[in-house]
Structure 1
Amino acid sequence: MIRCLVVDDEPLALDILVDYIAKVPGLKLIKATTSAFEALALAQEEEIDLIFLDVQMPELTGIQFLNIIKGKCKVILTTAYSQYALDGYELDIADYLLKPIAFDRFYKAVLKVQQQQSLLAPVAAVPEKQSNGVPDFIFVKTEHRIQKIYINEILYIEGLKDYISIFTASERIITLQYMKKMEEVLPCAVFARVHKSYIVAIDKIESIERGRIQIGDKIIPIGDTYREAFFNKIQDRNI
């Protein structure tokens, strides 16, 4: 079920989207509001999967709204002005609907989000664990199958927007997933986030030099945001 929020300062436009949402299975309307500030509070406090967001609003523009929530949930922009499309896509929106919005175009945009949701199936750590409490393996959904990956075989993980690549000594597995989700699933005692685009297996690190990590032939940068936490994590292993 996709939990939806609708925000538009025009009541008629709001009513149309509420009616469309009611017609589509798998969508659940959490709130429809003409207040951008109320919507912003809900987006930050509630579990919202998808926002239908107007661009031109008096309190807060849709682009300003996007900059504040920064990818917290999927967003479909709704506006009468096509010139905002580029700004929206640069902020990684799911789709862009021009008013007046036809139901078939609305449905197409929703299908796109539903397909992304199904591909972004949770990466599940299997309940069976080693004696130290670390899971033996995880499952990830690839293009054609759900693949089992042993935790101790992972060298590092590289992210690019919604996609991540999981590297082992023998293969690269690509899955439509978020780095944040992988970071939550992988055991923190074994893995470290070292950059917005990299998670590394601590025991696979061969050397650290000048803010860079070497694992096999791969050189991985250490981002400023993650530097202190990373070095604190490996401090106990230093001699």
Structure 2
Amino acid sequence: MSEQQPQSKVTAPEEMGDKSLQSNWSNVGNRALGEIMQLATRNTWMSYQPISEQQYEQLRLPQGFVKSGHGIGAMDLAYFRRSPDAPEDGPLQTMQVDGYLFMHVARPEKIEKAPDASHYQGLKIIQVNKHHNLLFRAGRTVEVISCPNAMDYILVVASSIGFTESRPDSKRYLPKGWTSRQVSLETELLVELPCPTRALFFDTGESFQGPINLAM
């Protein structure tokens, strides 16, 4: 297999990211991507191009790496401002793995417990070190979860296997006081996730991320 190279053209708002940094962009809409993790550092690398479940299963990894998840992004376009621990925004770290281009995009940090120190039912909340911008095109509907503190979490991963203990046939359980809503977009929605990002991983394979304030 020949090595993958970044694509050359991106259609996005100017404020979303630097279009000259081709490897920082991910045209993810409704396409499956794979992630791998270095066990020693927990650094997480995401495939630049779509990769099928079969291709992901057959992927030969460098020593010290494991397959950490395969899923479909809910956004139409993504941009990573920098790799974790980079001193400033700029080109992502990349590497070729078995002929596929991977980008260093994240590192999971702390798993949160519920306010009473118990575990959430069917849900893991993980603080993630990443610098991630998302674009949702006009004319579509997005799902948003709100917490009691009025902060919002937008659907980022529509379905997945391998992330935490995802089981697509599971039922989604929301903690007490949390709500979900559907938001119809009349214009493009650009979201800049904070760093660290608070990522909600449900057993259904969905992931909502924030906190953000959509005011819609």
TM-score by length of 1: 0.22
Question: Who wins on radius of gyration, i.e. which is larger?
Answer: 1
The structure where helix makes up a greater share of residues is: 1
The structure where strand makes up a greater share of residues is: 2
TM-score by length of 2: 0.24
